[in-house]
Structure 1
Amino acid sequence: MSTLHVLSHSPFGDSRLASCLRVLGEQDALLLCGDATYALQPGSVPFDTLQGSGLKLFVMAEDIQARALQAPDWAEAIDYPAFVELSIRHDKVNTWL
């Protein structure tokens, strides 16, 4: 059973990203949206952690663009229709509020 984990809070404000990474299963995926996209700032601890994780990582294209960031080649930038498709593809969706 696979889960899409959706994270929208900045990785610099609390430990949600670290908690999420601890429970990610082999077939799970992570979607960064909103301020969670700041995790993709090159040279930051969250960036380095995600880069070496080997997980399926997605990022909302409009959120990363609004923060003047770029999706690295190991993360896939998606739009809202792709988000819906990603949600359907997984058995569960867990939003880290």
Structure 2
Amino acid sequence: MTTLHVIAHSPFGDDRLASCLRLLSADDALLLCGDAVYALRSGSEPHQLLQAAGLAQRLFALAEDVQARAVDNGLAKAVDYAAFVELSLHFDKVNTWL
């Protein structure tokens, strides 16, 4: 069963990003939104975790949040809200890391 994991909290406040990355299967994807897009800051520990995870075409970030936080995103595919909905329909389930 494939899962779209959604994280909206800052990666600097707790370890939910690291926990999520440990649980991702080869067919799962990760969407960063809200303050979670700070994980895309080059050189940060969360950025290194994302690079090491080898998510390739399975890492997404909500474009509006990337732009609002002025994060230079070279790692994740930026998506708008319509694409977010499409992603949620593509996977068997959606798991939001609250």
Same fold (TM over 0.5): yes
Deviations 1:20-77 (A, max 9, x none): 01110110000000000000111101101111221110000000100001221x3100
TM-score (norm 1): 0.96
Q: Percent identity?
A: 67
CA distance in 1, matches of 2:78, 2:73: 6
Give aligned pairs, total.
Answer: 96
TM-score (norm 2): 0.95
Structure with bigger helix share is 2
CA distance in 1, matches of 2:22, 2:51: 15
Which position in structure 2 is the counterpart of 1:58? Answer: 60
